Amino acid sequence: MPSHDFRAPRLFVDAPLAQDARVALDRDQGNYLGNVLRLAAGAPVLAFNGRDGEWQAAIEGRKRPDGLVILQQTRPQDRLPDLTYVFAPLKHARLDYVVQKAVEMGAATLQPVQTRFTQASRVNTERMRANVVEAAEQCGILSLAAVAEPVPLERFLSQRAANRLLVFCDEAAEVENPIQSLQSAREAHQGIDVLIGPEGGFAEEERALLRRQPKILRLALGPRILRADTAAVAALALVQAVLGDWGGKTPWLQDQLQDHLATPIGGPLSD
């Protein structure tokens, strides 16, 4: 796999990318390149759209950057593991954090669910999508995670495919070696859902509903109670290391094409 150039500015553009194509930049992108990075016409940048790989491009524009000319591909398009991060929404900056970390960890889909003790009643999915793009730009990620609209936990469970593995992170579970627990779930399945609950934990009726799900692995994340954002990072790291793409291709990753393109975002982030 071609190595990532961490020194070059990197920009997500919602347009087809091919050699000699020209891509218009919006005002925010032009301001970022021209006023923040102090780049002028002819300066090199890397462009990606989540579909066509990563491309070397050059800035165009007389007074300020207003477009890119696409020169050559630097990395082909990849695909994310079929891994969904399912979580009770958090408030403001902590939600930003978990979205960014889930993207960095390789989640293909972010699914907010409302539980009995969820503290955040409003979920700004446009802000979540903006954080997906920002994390992908900064970390050299080519494929964008999809952001799903929030649904009640009961509805999510009733609609999810029965052949997917559900990793249910439960602070009330008996503490066992999580690596060994995950290794025991290596049998064939079609994707993984990692569920992190709210700061107040799951209600007993929610735990009962979860335990009735097919292909479920109830997992404790050690002897200490973790904050929800910490639990998300810990759980995703464990799943990716044991069952995901950190150790190379696994059977459930093969032939799993993902359709997880983010909606284009414009303007500053707002609550």
Q: Do 35 and 114 share a structural domain?
A: no
Residue ending a domain, choose from 23, 43, 75: 75
Q: Do 156 and 191 share a structural domain?
A: yes
Q: Which of 178, 195, 196, 193 has its CA nearest to residue 242?
A: 178
How many CB atoms lie under 10 A from the CB of residue 243? 24
So what's the pLDDT on residue 248? 66
So what's the pLDDT on residue 264? 41
So what's the pLDDT on residue 260? 35
Q: Do 102 and 171 share a structural domain?
A: yes
CA 84 – CA 90 distance, rounded (Å): 17
Q: Residue 87 is part of which domain span?
A: 83-253
Q: Do 212 and 94 share a structural domain?
A: yes
Q: Do 128 and 173 share a structural domain?
A: yes
Nearest-Å Rg of the Cα atoms of the chain is: 20
At 86-123, the pLDDT tens digits run: 999 988 889 999 999 999 999 999 999 999 988 877 89
Residues lower than pLDDT 70 in the chain: 1-4, 188, 248-271
How many helices and strands in the chain, by DSSP H and E? 7, 12
Q: Do 106 and 66 share a structural domain?
A: no
Q: What contacts 24+ positions apart, CB below 8 Å, involve 31-34?
A: 31/64, 33/9, 33/59, 33/65, 34/61, 34/64, 34/65
What's the pTM? Answer: 0.85
The token pair at 238 is: 């464990």
The token pair at 221 is: 């994340």
Q: Is 173 exposed, middle or buried (0-12, 13-18, 19+ CB in 10 A)?
A: middle
Q: How many domains does the structure of the chain reveal? A: 2
Phi and psi at 253, nearest 5°, equal: -90, -25
So what's the pLDDT on residue 36? 94
| Domain-located, residue 264 | no
So what's the pLDDT on residue 251? 42
Domain containing residue 141: CATH number: 3.40.1280.10
Q: Are strands 67-75 and 22-24 parallel, antiparallel or unpaired?
A: antiparallel
